[in-house]
């Protein structure tokens, strides 16, 4: 009976549940931020590459 007592107490204890829920929420928010920043960064990179290509072409053609 003593061997099951610590496990039973651990399973009944709800103090860690709230911190786990907050950790999951923070993880999901972080994942959303990283995903949105990554896709925004890719779009901006493509735009700046276009600007650089246009500037290079205009300088090369003497415009």
Encode pLDDT of 19-45 as tens digits.
888 889 999 999 999 888 877 777 888
Tell me if 46 is assigned to some domain. yes
Tell me if 49 is assigned to some domain. yes
Domain count for the chain = 1
Total residues found in the chain within this entry:
63
pLDDT at 3: 54
Using a 10 angstrom Cβ sphere, with 0-12 exposed, 13-18 middle and 19 or more buried, the burial of residue 50 is exposed
As a whole number of angstroms, the distance between CA 8 and CA 1 comes to 10
Tell me if 14 is assigned to some domain. no
Q: Which domain holds residue 63?
A: 37-63
54: Cα within 13 Å, side-chain hemisphere: 6
Q: Determine phi and psi for 62, rounding to 5 degrees.
A: 80, 25
pLDDT at 45: 86
pTM of the model: 0.49
């Amino acid at each position: 009976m003593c061997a099951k007592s610590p496990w039973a107490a651990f399973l009944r204890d709800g103090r860690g549940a709230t911190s786990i829920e907050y950790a999951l929420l923070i993880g999901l928010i972080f994942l959303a931020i990283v995903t949105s920043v990554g896709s925004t960064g890719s779009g901006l990179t493509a735009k700046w590459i276009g600007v650089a290509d246009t500037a290079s072409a205009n300088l090369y053609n003497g415009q």
